[in-house]
Amino acid sequence: MANSEHWDYPEPFILRFTVEPQHIDVLQHVNNTVYVDWCQQAGWQHSQALGLGIEHYRELDTAMAIRRADYDYISAAYLGDELELGTWLTGCDRRLQLERSFQLRHRKRGITLLRGRWQLVCIGLSSGKARRMPPIFCRLYGDAVIETSTVSVERARD
């Protein structure tokens, strides 16, 4: 488990990445779309770790879809950098909406490179229209929401 003093919130679900040539853009740093893709990977893997994968979404004809995504690109990453991306569920109304937060950190320098937040809405897969969360979504997602009332000292300094 990661050292909690470096994370915005306690007990992140973490994916680790090493920057490779395909991640680099014409400005010679990681392209912003790569960060978005890594957040997508982290969100799905965290959901699966909680017990909800795409097979459950299909079986229930229900999904959590991104309604809004905000990213703060704080600092760049470069070829060979070792990074860790933490994610948390930071809100759930147990009806229609879910919030997921992200923090990408440079492992050796200990600095935050990106913060992100998604607002998700529960939809029917077949209709694309908003629908109430099924009980399993309420339980697994709702129970995984972390307490966000205290933000770490690290975030306050950024």
List the domain range (segments joined by +) for residue 71: 10-157
CATH for 47: 3.10.129.10
Q: CA triplet 22, 28, 32: central angle to 5 degrees?
A: 65
Is residue 90 within 8 Å of 101, Cβ to Cβ? yes
Point out which residues pair with 64 in neighbouring strands. Answer: 122
The whole-number pLDDT of residue 3 equals 44
How many domains in the chain? 1
User: Is residue 31 included in any domain, yes or no?
Assistant: yes
Owner of token pair 């007990």: 11
Phi, psi angles (nearest 5°) of residue 156: -60, -30
What are the pLDDT tens digits along the chain (158 aa)? 344 458 999 999 999 999 999 999 999 999 999 999 999 999 999 999 999 999 999 999 999 999 999 999 999 999 999 999 999 999 999 999 999 999 999 999 999 999 999 999 999 999 999 999 999 999 999 999 998 764 443 444 44
Residue 59 falls inside a structural domain: yes
End-to-end CA distance of the chain: 23
